[in-house]
């Protein structure tokens, strides 16, 4: 029998970074059944031929999908949602309710800003936090207003983050200022680029200041080594065991280039330069590692 209007369902599933060609090759029997019995296209894009000016990050991407217009209309170009124009180009739930007030709408997300900024109305809303697992990100932050250390005094400060087992710790000038436990992250330190002062999820530089003497380690430093590293940053003598030091960025010129010191003037990605990492061990098989322009 033909379904009545009240029995019909529309399910929209969105996953960041999912390529349609990879989805078709993967073993996904439930998706395969939904595709066979429903509507499917592999041509949906968050950037079209007419408009291609913003990055494919979450804010503008989900705004385009949920409003049906490009960023030049909905106004979102980053994950800060500045310039949003959802009053004129709202989430499609609002248009659905306008045409069918009796329609029941449910929005389940793992990325809360969708509900905070894009969604204006729904009968049921839930933010389902994803369980932290290997190769996922975890955020650790602390408010500068709660610190006893003035970080805006125009002086150099030593900032260090350590991941040891299931705990992340943040140190400022040798003193622990924040921690986050219950994480199970397993990132292999390798690849072509490390981004310093930038959150790759936001697509923009998050740190505005100067960077110098950046080091990446393959081991967790002890509290004593962390305190000693802070003293070195303040002009002390280097006594920390360099075992496990993967890369070191001095932001200084190399002999084959200019003789002036090369440092970030700010870290807003305006220099257009990348800085090769200093090799740590002559027996290392790692390739030369460079930072991007941010």
pLDDT, position 213: 83
How many residues can be counted in the chain? Answer: 294
Residue 260 corresponds to which tokens in the numbers above? Answer: 């002036």
pLDDT, position 122: 93
pLDDT, position 264: 34
pLDDT, position 244: 85
pLDDT, position 179: 84
pLDDT, position 39: 83
pLDDT, position 133: 55
Quickly list DSSP for the chain. -PPPGGG--------TT--HHHHHHS--HHHHHHHHHS---S---SS-SS---S-SSHHHHHHHHHHSS-HHHH---STT-TT--TTTS--HHHHHHHH-TT---EEEESSTHIIIII----SEEEE-PPPP-TT--------GGG-SS-TTSSS---EEEEEETTEEEEEETTEEEEEEES--------SSEE-SSEETTTTEE---S---SEEEESSPPPHHHHHHHHHHHTT----S--TTEEEEE-----TTS-SS----SSSSS-S----BPBP--TT--PPP-EE---
pLDDT, position 6: 61
Mean pLDDT per 10-residue segment, the chain (294 residues):
66 85 90 88 77 79 92 90 94 95 93 92 87 61 74 83 83 87 62 64 62 84 89 72 82 50 34 44 39 36
- Where are the chain's structural domains? 5-127, 155-294
Residue 10 corresponds to which tokens in the numbers above? Answer: 């529309």
| Predicted confidence (pLDDT) per residue in 47-90, tens digit | 777 777 777 788 999 999 999 998 989 999 888 898 999 999 99
| Predicted confidence (pLDDT) per residue in 176-216, tens digit | 888 887 666 655 555 556 667 666 555 555 666 777 888 88
């Amino acid at each position: 029998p033909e379904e009545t209007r009240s029995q019909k369902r529309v399910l929209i599933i969105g996953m960041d970074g999912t390529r349609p060609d990879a989805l078709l090759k993967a073993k996904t029997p439930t998706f395969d059944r939904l595709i066979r019995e429903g509507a499917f296209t592999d041509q949906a894009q968050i950037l079209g031929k007419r408009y291609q000016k913003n990055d494919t990050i979450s804010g503008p991407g989900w705004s385009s999908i949920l409003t049906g217009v490009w960023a030049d209309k909905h106004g979102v170009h980053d994950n800060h949602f500045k310039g949003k124009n959802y009053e004129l180009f709202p989430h499609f739930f609002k248009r659905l309710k306008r045409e069918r007030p009796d329609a029941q709408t449910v929005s389940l997300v793992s990325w809360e800003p969708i509900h905070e900024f894009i969604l204006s109305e729904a009968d049921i809303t839930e933010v389902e936090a994803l369980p932290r697992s290997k190769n996922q990100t975890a955020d650790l932050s602390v408010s500068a207003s709660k610190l006893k250390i003035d970080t805006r005094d125009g002086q150099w400060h030593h900032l260090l983050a350590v991941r040891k087992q299931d705990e992340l710790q943040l140190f400022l000038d040798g003193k622990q200022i924040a921690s986050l436990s219950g994480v199970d992250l397993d990132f292999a330190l390798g690849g072509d680029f490390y981004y310093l002062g930038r959150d790759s999820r936001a697509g923009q530089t998050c740190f505005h200041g100067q960077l110098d003497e950046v080091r990446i380690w393959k081991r967790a430093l002890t509290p004593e080594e962390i305190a000693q590293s802070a003293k070195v940053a303040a002009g002390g003598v280097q006594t920390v065991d360099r075992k496990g030091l993967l890369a070191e960025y001095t932001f200084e010129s190399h002999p084959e280039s200019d003789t002036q010191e090369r440092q970030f003037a700010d870290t807003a990605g305006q220099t257009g330069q990348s800085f090769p990492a200093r090799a740590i061990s002559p027996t290392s098989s790692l390739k030369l590692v460079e930072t991007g322009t941010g």
